[in-house]
Structure 1
Amino acid sequence: MGFMHHVAACNDHDASGFIPFAIENQPVGRVRPAFAGLLQSWPEIFSTTGQAVALHCRGGGLQERSALVAGVLEQLIAQGALGQFHGERYAAVAEGRGEPLLLIDRAMAPCFGIRAYGQHVNGFVRTGAGLKMWIGRRADDRRHAPGRLDNLAAGGLPYGLSLAENLAKECWEEAGIPAQLARQATSVGTVTYHMDTATGFKPDTLFCYDLELPEEFVPHCMDGEVQSFYLWPVEQVMELVRHSSEFKLNCNLVIIDFLIRHGYIGPEDEEYLALLGALHPSMPPLPRHFL
């Protein structure tokens, strides 16, 4: 199977199947033409053509604009055209993590192809037998990737929380890591991917953290997301990633990044150079006639 198999699976985007989504003449995402067709029923809010979709409701601020879009999505949910809301809101921005132009429910972000951000923690322990990693197994009742292996703690970055606040929240909820210990997590960079889903397009950026834990620490899930934890030698984790699909898909990328930074995947590995670039891909461009 190999490490690149997982990276490729997270980067299966076909830009030819999408058109731009813009707010205030600034591109913030991309949508499937079929979804654009659904939005044509609300011309007072969305301008839709075969070439692009634009949010053009006038007046009001961020909250009013976001409420109008949420109202449209609620009607589409009631019609059975979309699934249910998640309950967290993401911010749509024109570039990077600047000022938000729209707030949208996490479950609906892929409909508009809005870049989402998450935080993933690699928890590890230095033991007399070598480096070990804490791995969680997701509960069987999860909406996404039930029963799959996961990083020690991970979650999306909702609007209104800082990176530090959200990291502490996720560490506590998913693994019972107290705030004073969570603050010792070290920011080590990002991984990025561009994935097509049944809902739309997921251009995601994950902020990665390493957290060295004391040998006596044992994680305990506080919110029901994780059913069990395992402390495994890093070599065992590496082989699971390389040869199986046991992990939630994007968690493979976070672990591969960890393995590279800690020297477990090195220049002698035939996938090494490909992985270095593939974990940080550029956004695939839309066809020229859409730009």
Structure 2
Amino acid sequence: MSFLDRIRACNTHDFSAYRPFEVDGVRIGWIRHALAEELPDVDPGFVVSAGRVTLAPEVRDFEARSAVLAHAAAYVVEKGLARKLRGEFYPVLPRWGVEPLARIDRAVVAHFGIAAYGLHVNGFVRTPAGLELWVGRRAMDRGVAPGQLDNLIAGGQPIGLTLAENLVKEAEEEAGIGPELIAQAVPVGAVTYLMENEHGLKPDTLFLYDLELPPDFEPRNTDGEVETFERWPLDKVAASVHDTLDWKFNVNLVVLDFLVRHGWLTPEHPDYLEIVHGLRRSAA
């Protein structure tokens, strides 16, 4: 196994299995052919051709588009392609930083190949022996990556919250960190990947933050997502990423970025450039 294996695992996909999903001439997602063919019967707002899926001309505003997507989301659950709706909504964006075109339930984002965004916080401590990273182990009842290793704080970016507001919310829920301490988190970039899973395509962007914590800090999970936290030296973190499949798939990328930025993973590594480039893949 290798670091590159972790990056490749998050960037496997076959576009031939999908049709582009467009709104007003702008591609916003990808839909598998079988689901695409069924959508006009779910809601007449969908217009499907051999080459694409789009919305009917009369479906023009945010609420109208969101209503059509809500009908499709309910159908995906009814058909058994998703377990249940989450009641948490993500923005449908042609690109980051613009007004959303619609909202969509988080549970079906991948079924429509819509770009999703999230934030991850590397909580670390400086010790005489070097940096140590806080590592969480996800609860066994999680629908995604049960029992696997995770960052100190991580969460999807819902519609209606700024990144700063979401950072405060997630920090309190996932690690018991209050607004004053999380305000010290430093934004350090983003990783991107384009991954196919059983639901569809995930063109995801994770905004990254580093948070230096005092040696006596102890995280406290409040939302049931994490069972335990441990503080690991970077050698142990890197070996675990390299040699095991213990980490949640996308957290591998966040940790690799941390190892690069803090000088643990250096240009002397034979895969260094491929690793650095691979952490930021085009959504295509």
Q: TM-score range by the shorter chain?
A: over 0.9
**Which ranges of structure 2 fall in alignment gaps of 5 or more residues?**
none
Alignment partners' CA distance in 2, 1:222 and 1:81: 30
Partner secondary structure for residue 180 of structure 2: helix
Give % identity: 46
Partner of 1:289: none
In the alignment, structure 1 residue 260 sits paired with structure 2 residue 260: yes
Q: Is 146-155 or 8-17 further displaced after alignment?
A: 8-17
**Runs of 4 or more above 4 Å deviation:** none
Partner secondary structure for residue 64 of structure 2: helix
Alignment partners' CA distance in 2, 1:227 and 1:82: 25
Partner of 1:249: 249
Question: 1:140-151 residue pairs with structure 2 within 5 A?
Answer: 140-151=140-151
* Residues 122/136 of structure 1: CA separation in 2 closer, same or farther (3 Å cut): same
* Residues 81/261 of structure 1: CA separation in 2 closer, same or farther (3 Å cut): closer
Alignment partners' CA distance in 2, 1:83 and 1:32: 18
Partner of 1:126: 126
One-letter amino acid of the structure 2 residue matched with residue 105 of structure 1: D
Partner secondary structure for residue 154 of structure 2: strand
Partner of 2:170: 170
Alignment partners' CA distance in 2, 1:180 and 1:139: 27
Partner of 1:281: 281
**Which ranges of structure 1 fall in alignment gaps of 5 or more residues?**
285-291
Paired residues of 1:44 and 1:57 also in contact (CA < 8 A): no
Partner of 1:91: 91
Alignment coverage as a number of residue pairs: 284
Question: 1:33-182 residue pairs with structure 2 within 5 A?
Answer: 33-42=33-42, 44-56=44-56, 58=58, 61-182=61-182
* Residues 31/76 of structure 1: CA separation in 2 closer, same or farther (3 Å cut): closer
Alignment partners' CA distance in 2, 1:73 and 1:278: 32
Paired residues of 2:192 and 2:281 also in contact (CA < 8 A): yes
One-letter amino acid of the structure 2 residue matched with residue 44 of structure 1: P
C-alpha distance after superposition, 1:196-250 (max 9, x if no partner): 0111100000001100000111001011000000011111111101111111010
* TM superposition shift of 1:60: 6.1
TM-score by length of 2: 0.96
One-letter amino acid of the structure 2 residue matched with residue 52 of structure 1: R
Partner secondary structure for residue 190 of structure 1: strand
Paired residues of 1:137 and 1:148 also in contact (CA < 8 A): yes
Q: Is 274-283 or 49-58 further displaced after alignment?
A: 49-58
Paired residues of 1:23 and 1:56 also in contact (CA < 8 A): no
C-alpha distance after superposition, 1:237-279 (max 9, x if no partner): 1110111111101000000000000000001001101011101
Paired residues of 1:20 and 1:27 also in contact (CA < 8 A): yes
Q: Is 238-247 or 51-60 further displaced after alignment?
A: 51-60
C-alpha distance after superposition, 1:174-205 (max 9, x if no partner): 11111100010000000000000111100000
Q: Is 40-49 or 244-253 further displaced after alignment?
A: 40-49
TM-score by length of 1: 0.94
Alignment partners' CA distance in 1, 2:190 and 2:220: 26
Paired residues of 1:46 and 1:57 also in contact (CA < 8 A): no
One-letter amino acid of the structure 2 residue matched with residue 197 of structure 1: N
One-letter amino acid of the structure 1 residue matched with residue 259 of structure 2: L
